[in-house]
A and B are shown apart, each in its own frame.
Chain A
Amino acid sequence: MTTMPIVAAEPALHVDAHAAEGHGAHEDEHDRPGINRMGLWVFMASESCLFIAMAAARFYLAGTTKGDVNLPLGIVLTLILLTSSWLGYQATGAIKLGNRRKAITALLIASLLGVIFIAGVGVEWSTAAFGKDLVPPVSPQATPFGTAFFAMTGLHVFHLITGLVGLLLIANLLRKGQFGPGDHWGVTAIVRYWTFVDVMWLAVVFPVLYLL
């Protein structure tokens, strides 16, 4: 036989008895926790590209020369962020065991450390020799390193602020009784993002500006 009948004719749908309930039955078929986790990883991978782009700009403009950075301050800031991430990790552990109060406290202290970090960056900005001409509206005399420094730390602080807002929102939700041992994705996610912001400082911003 040489002719092939068309197979995709009128759809023969066997309507499921559960169909009227809508999408509930289908949702369970997908791995919602896995979907959430994967999305956060892809997002963080994407954001890291932005930091890589700015690091590349730093090297293009200023090579490996370094401005007069305050290395002790930089190390202190690094330690602040590491502690803050560790506290975030404590918070996740706490809510997994149902310890709401500990989780909230850990998140609040982590946030406070974040604020201190931002203040520390502000100190670096205002005291750096390569930066004093960067305060608008003076005519710009910024050095290449100074340009890269302000851009990279500014971008990092911007991400830190978004993380801070997230930490506070989640802490508030915990206070209102949300999340528990079996349902803590919100806490895990914000802490993971907060750690990501920390890693961006640790692996990109700090080495590229302070250590080279």
Chain B
Amino acid sequence: MTAAAAGLRPAPRPSVISGFVPILRGLLFAVIGFGIGAVIAMGIRLATGAQAWNPNETSAVGTIPSTEQIVTLGFIFAVPAWLMGVGFWGTTVRQWLGYKTNSVPTDWRRYLTTSEDHKVIGLQYLSTFVVVLLVAGVGAMLMRIQLSQPANQFLSPDVYNRIMSFHGIAMVSVAVAAVMGSFGNYFVPIMIGARDMAYPRLNALSFWLVPVVIVSLFLSELLGGWDSGWTAYPPLSVRNAAGQIMFNLAIIVFGLSSIFGGINFIVTVIKMRAPGMTWGRVPIFVWSVFAAAFLATFFTQFFAASLTMVLLDRVVGTNFFIGQGGAPLLYEHTFWFYSHPAVYIFVLPGFGMALEVLAHMSRKPLFAYRWAVAAFIGIVGMSGIVWAHHMFVSGMPSALLGPFLVTTELISIPTGLIFLSALGTVWMGRLWLTTPMLFALGFTFNFLIGGVTGIFLADVPTDISLHDTYFVVAHFHYTIIGGEIFALFAAFYFWFPKMTGRMLSERLGKLNFWMMFIFFNTTFLPMFWAGLHGMNRRIATYQSDLANVNLFISISALLLGSSFLVFVINVLYSLFSKRAPRASANPWKARTLEWLVSSPPPVENFPSTPIVVGSPYGYGTGGRPHAVFSIAGASDEEVSA
């Protein structure tokens, strides 16, 4: 009952600033935590007979800079301090100490603190990563302005390298976490008929580690930034500016977030499916997130290990990659052992979302569903044995070249099954060419190019010539943007009505799609040609005979960037204009469980546990629903948005 009905005074409306208290408190605690860690580091230094802090030391050969040791230990204390300040002290640590916990507000302020509702967390992830995507996109625009002319001086080489490095890791983080963190968190529990994820608090932790990552990457500029790319190979990453350690520390934290998220999804999908939801009735998007979760949970540790080893070389004096017996190739093996499976973390949820949209918008069963699931499992299994195809020219023993060529070619087989499923699904369907459907179709076209060009890189002879050229840049932008980001947009347009209760404009949506599709292809298709004609990666200036193609690419890239503005305008209009149309519970007339509840869904997702009685893709079968709800009361309430 309301406070008024209980005879109490109604609670006063919370001020805007009170909503930001958790974040501000988190920042304050982080600064204090950093100070504590820094003091301890200086104390240890004094105890070993060194100067507490010498700000003039650099990471030259044979020295260990005091600044880096102090910042590292400060960081290690700052992270838990931040977490406690932003809300975990009240909800979690107090419980661990045996005190009463504080609850999280239930109004708009819950989005700014440690809410444990998976829908809130999903929206936190979505809004954060859309912003990161746009900021990293601005980085790309700056890079392309520099590259519009061969000997341009718009950005100095060092600034270019730092922007390029930031663009790389920011986009990789979007690729890893944007889909699973936003749509995975929001919709996996609903699609399997659960009330929340298996570990709601761990879920909140996964999200609130993300601001640490973003802030750290920006703070690295205070220490000189880092210029070693997102791959951060040593010895360069052991010798370069001190900002490198912020990258390493930040990404270790990001790895933790990813691992916790993976554990959450694995257990949720195994243990919390509604009655009647057999494995054969699980929606393909859920399968894709489940598969990607295994990759995140088990392989991310190797990325953390490689980054830790670089940190130890810088901060403690070990010789993993430098000095006596140091082996830079150890980093490459360890790093790529994670980073290849990582691209399947990017793309599997992309496959899942695209197939989901294709099925519902074609009003047909997902074609060869079991084979698609088998393909996901096959990709997960094989992703761990292909990594050294990133190292064909690294100087590793040549006996490894043939085996990795073989395994890399083989992984194209399960990937091909996804195309079977996509093509078979739209075949003989009733295609409703809405914006989400257009993005899903665009995904299929783009990923075809991305996938086929991968064959040229899997083949060692051609890879020798194409490695580290713009051919590779084109290939991975085709698979990641053309694949995952297009699928992300398909999901966004598909699920926006469900999450917000409002419809996005179809006209702006179609404009968004066509601009993105056309300019994406005009930007990245010529890059294959540039790579074949001698343009290597990660360079701020290039040979003058590549001027025309680069100018064309840069102009296309700016136009591609503007297509994102259309997207932003569409979203803002739908969210904030009073004239934006409202969404019904099921505007697409789709069958999966999220469409059986209101838009947005109620807090507990379902008024009662759904009982699954059929496939989510039972289109054209004349009558059998996907799920029914248990009947307890006699009232028949119609749910409207």
Contact = CB atoms under 8 A, between A and B. Distances in A.
A and B interact: yes
Interface string B313-333: 101111110111111001001
A135 B49 CA distance: 11
Interface residues of B, number: 92
A61 interface: yes
Given A4-B621, A14-B633, A23-B604, A42 B50 contact: no
A142 B325 CA distance: 9
A31 B273 CA distance: 11
B638 A53 contact: no
Interface in B280-315: 297-302, 304-306, 308-309, 312-313, 315
Interface stretch (B263-271, B402-410, B418-426, B564-572): B263-271
B630 A144 contact: no
A203 interface: no
Contact of B607 (A16, A42, A138): A16
Contact of A13 (B305, B323, B589, B596): B596
Interface in A140-180: 140-144, 146-147, 150-151, 154-155, 169, 172-173, 176, 178
Interface string B593-637: 001110000011011110000000011111111100111110111
Contacts of B595: 8, 11
B48 interface: yes
Contacts of A62: 325
Contact of B586 (A10, A17, A49, A142): A10
Nearest to A6: B589
B444 interface: no
Interface stretch (B60-68, B226-234, B510-518, B544-552): B60-68
Contact of A136 (B69, B302, B363): B69
B272 interface: yes
A58 B492 CA distance: 45
A47 B301 contact: yes
Interface residues of A, number: 65
B623 A7 contact: yes
B96 interface: yes
Nearest to B591: A8
B253 to A, nearest CB: 14
Contacts of A176: 98
B429 to A, nearest CB: 12
Contacts of A71: none
Nearest to A134: B317
Given A46-B297, A136-B317, A151-B309, A60 B64 contact: no
A142 to B, nearest CB: 5
Contacts of A31: 271
B325 A144 contact: yes
Nearest to B316: A136
Interface in B579-593: 584-586, 589-591
A60 B327 contact: yes
A212 interface: no
B625 A147 contact: no
B195 interface: yes
Query: What 5 A-B pairs come out closest when comparing CB atoms?
Result: A139-B62, A140-B317, A16-B608, A144-B325, A53-B305
Given A147-B320, A173-B97, 17 more contacts: A4-B619, A8-B590, A8-B625, A13-B597, A31-B271, A42-B266, A49-B302, A53-B305, A54-B305, A136-B316, A137-B63, A137-B66, A144-B326, A146-B319, A151-B308, A151-B318, A169-B97
Interface of A: 4-19, 22-23, 25-27, 29-31, 34-35, 38-39, 42-43, 45-47, 49-50, 53-54, 56-57, 60-62, 133-144, 146-147, 150-151, 154-155, 169, 172-173, 176, 178
22 contacts: A4-B620, A7-B625, A8-B591, A8-B595, A15-B633, A25-B608, A27-B195, A29-B275, A30-B272, A35-B271, A38-B270, A39-B198, A49-B301, A54-B305, A56-B334, A57-B305, A57-B334, A61-B327, A137-B50, A140-B64, A140-B323, A147-B320
